[in-house]
Amino acid sequence: MYVAAKGGEQAIDNAHALLAEARRGDPSVAELGIDQIREQLSLAVDRVMAEGSVHDRDLAALAIKQARGDLIEAIFLVRAYRTTLPRFGYSEPLDNTRINARRRISSTFKDLPGGQVLGPTFDYTHRLLDFTLAANGEPPVAPVADEPLPQDMPRVLGLLDAQGLIEQERDPDPDGPVGDITREPTNFPADRDQRLQTLARGDEGWLLALGYSTQRGYGKNHPFAGEIRMGEIAVEFAPEELGFAIEIGEITLTECQMINQFKGSRTTPPQFTQGYGMVFGQSERKAMSMALVDRALRAADLGESADSPAQQQEFVLSHSDNVQATGFVEHLKLPHYVDFQSELELVRAMRTAMARQTAEAAE
Amino acid sequence: MTATTRDPQYNFAYLDEQTKRMIRRAILKAVAIPGYQVPFASREMPMPYGWGTGGVQVTAAIIGPDDTLKVIDQGADDTTNAVSIRKFFARTAGVATTANTTEATIVQTRHRIPETPMVEGQILVYQVPIPEPLRWLEPREAETRRMHALSDYGSMHVKLYEDISHHGRIATTYDYPVLVNDRYVMASSPIPKFDNPKMDNAPFLQLFGAGREKRIYAIPPWTAVKCLDFEDHPFEVQHWDDACAICGATDSFLDEIVTDDAGGRMFVCSDTDYCSGRVAADQKESAA
């Protein structure tokens, strides 16, 4: 007698036990500490914080450990944890003129007040495997400048704006509510606040590919990296019972302001346009890609045709979230017996009907 | 029925109370406008999108400590995802769980409606991957919402007509589109069209949750649900030449089981509770 295959709780429990064992790897190798991940895999931690939308280095490090280094899985863990956190309110808008920069570069001016500050970057390294790291080589000590960087480095786009050379999207209602994609479903067409929020937590690879596509002719917008900054910035929060804002901490951010192709008409003098990117932690790849895609998505607002994938907001925004994407792609692993059976029945019935028709025609 | 104990580290049924209130409001609106897709602020849940997060959020918003929950996937209570979701609510809500359709107050389902008729007072919660029935005809959300607003459903009928002209019949076998309360065309979720007639004028409440797509919709009890068709090509459901190899049922949806590599196969009920209930009743009868 046939007994139907059972999914079985025991099988699931056993699979989880096997997963835990596989995560640990060879037990004779020392276990990885959360602090080691936080300190030595810091860019992975940054990505998990940014796309997980929670700024907490220890939680992100824990998620990376639990996910065996699968960053999308780690992002998913952090997002699910985020759901359980109570919402106290919204912080004050960050004052991005007050980024305490560790890195600040512009590709549009050779020199500018505050100078080009390279900071900790892979940019000019030769990508040669450093075998001293395999032997636990200690890094050389980085020299310290005689004096700290000035706090009031002017912004490149501010310099252009002062001369009317760059268009600015002026918020028609600066005191109005700002959208919150984690609390309200996005309605299309989406405004720029919702678009930027979606891009900020969007998948780095997705944004990179879309940004890249604009550079290859699919929605070209002539970008220049006007200014890129990475550093620490204070977060302020105004508790209702206090009535004024207090500083509650400091976060690391990467910001990119892209300067794009100019436009003008017979009546308005030409101006450059811009795209904006901002990400938790250190990730210039993501911040720059985000700025390219933000600019591409402004095509309709700026009166350009929007024929390329990166310019179509439903396409870009609806597919940017890697937690959603990985869930839906991987759900194909779930059983689909019933739907497949329905299709099988239909195909067989159609084949039978066709065979009958052929037989009748032959008679 | 199985009693369970709640994990006190999480709020009852995982979600915080404000989130549940937001979801309940969306559900109320959905019930008030049968078949209309209500946007809601779907949360990240601890299971992946596409694995039932919409259904889980709806269940979390409506479940109470006295409820008895049944979870099925493909009609079966013991498929891996059904086990996982049932465990989730056992842990976070501590509610009683059951495999018995008649014992349950809430049934969460993926891809089936139970064979045992559900009754007034029960709630069926569907997990929905793509809530938009017009999505395959029009990818843009802004455009499909406009089409619903104007009852602009011509393209759906054209699609069904094209099926007939290509294949001689309507070639949609699951997620078969329905017209709810004579107003909104609605995705029935990927249940086989075999189950569609159970939706029509059903005595129980039907709630649909699509987590990734952030939509909730509903069919209140005793609401007309019509499968789209044509006078000369009326809607019809699948039928099998075989009976269930375990319980002998001829009125249930049958899964095909491949038994060897030489074309051998057999058919068994996809609804495991229905099947085992029939076997138990048979044994009782023969013992008496």
Chain B closest CA to A336's CA: distance in Å? 7
Which residue is closest to A7 within chain B, CA to CA? B79
- Nearest CB among B18, B79, B142 relative to A7 is that of B79
State the pLDDT at residue A173: 81
Mean pLDDT, range A76-93, rounded to an integer: 91
State the pLDDT at residue A2: 54
Q: Which of A162, A289, A287 is nearest to A231 (CA)?
A: A287
Q: Check B142 against A86: CB less than 8 A apart.
A: no
Does the pLDDT value for residue A3 go beyond 60?
A: no
Which chain B residues contact residue A76 at CB under 8 A? 44, 48
Q: Check A82 against B44: CB less than 8 A apart.
A: yes
Q: Which residue, among A16, A85, A329, A342, would best test binding to B if mutated, counting the most B CBs under 10 Å from its CB?
A: A342
Does the pLDDT value for residue A197 go beyond 80?
A: yes
Which chain B residues contact residue A4 at CB under 8 A? 76, 246, 257, 268, 272, 275
Mean pLDDT, range A236-258, rounded to an integer: 94
For residues A304 and B15, the model is more confident at B15
Tens digit of each residue's pLDDT (9 = 90 or more) over A262-281 = 777 777 788 999 999 999 99
Q: Check A80 against B111: CB less than 8 A apart.
A: no
Chain B closest CA to A214's CA: distance in Å? 22
- Nearest CB among A83, A185, A326 relative to B39 is that of A185
Does the pLDDT value for residue A227 go beyond 90?
A: yes
- Nearest CB among A82, A83, A334 relative to B81 is that of A334
Mean pLDDT, range A234-244, rounded to an integer: 92
State the pLDDT at residue A72: 97
Q: Which residue, among B7, B44, B247, would best test binding to A if mutated, counting the most A CBs under 10 Å from its CB?
A: B44
State the pLDDT at residue B80: 84
Peptide bond into A189 cis (omega under 30): yes
- Nearest CB among A183, A188, A342 relative to B174 is that of A342
State the pLDDT at residue A95: 86
Q: Check A84 against B140: CB less than 8 A apart.
A: no
Which chain A residues contact residue B79 at CB under 8 A? 7, 335
Catalytic residue set of B: 35, 244, 247, 269, 275
Separation of alpha carbons A363 and B22, rounded Å: 66
- To the nearest whole percent, how much of chain B has pLDDT over 70? 100
User: What are the CA-CA distances from residue A129 to residues A69, A126, A135, A243, B247 (Å)?
Assistant: 21, 9, 12, 54, 65
Size of interface A-B (CB pairs under 8 A): 156
Tens digit of each residue's pLDDT (9 = 90 or more) over B59-89 = 999 999 999 999 999 999 988 889 999 999 9
Which chain B residues contact residue A345 at CB under 8 A? 173, 238, 240
Chain B closest CA to A328's CA: distance in Å? 4
Looking at the whole model, is its pTM more than 0.90? no
Does the pLDDT value for residue A208 go beyond 70?
A: yes
State the pLDDT at residue A261: 83
Instruction: Identify the band that residue A6 occupies on the pLDDT scale cut at 50, 70 and 90.
Output: low
Instruction: Identify the band that residue A86 occupies on the pLDDT scale cut at 50, 70 and 90.
Output: confident
Lowest average pLDDT, out of A23-27, A325-329, B211-215, B236-240, goes to: B236-240
Q: Which of B250, B225, B227 is nearest to B240 (CA)?
A: B250
First to last CA, chain B: 25
Q: Check B256 against A328: CB less than 8 A apart.
A: no
The DSSP letter of residue B76 is B
For A101, phi then psi, to 5°, come to -70, 135
Q: Which residue, among A311, A313, A334, A339, would best test binding to B if mutated, counting the most B CBs under 10 Å from its CB?
A: A334
Q: Check A334 against B168: CB less than 8 A apart.
A: no
Q: Check B48 against A323: CB less than 8 A apart.
A: yes
Which residue is closest to B170 within chain A, CA to CA? A346
- Nearest CB among B140, B171, B270 relative to A338 is that of B270
| Both structure tokens of B176 | 């078969």
State the pLDDT at residue A265: 74
State the pLDDT at residue B142: 92
State the pLDDT at residue B268: 93
State the pLDDT at residue A111: 85
Pairing assessment for the beta strands B123-127 and B106-110 based on DSSP bridges? parallel
Which chain B residues contact residue A327 at CB under 8 A? 48-51, 53, 212
ipTM of the complex: 0.78
- Nearest CB among A182, A326, A343 relative to B173 is that of A343
Tens digit of each residue's pLDDT (9 = 90 or more) over B140-182 = 999 999 999 999 999 999 999 999 998 888 989 999 999 999 9
Q: Check A324 against B212: CB less than 8 A apart.
A: yes
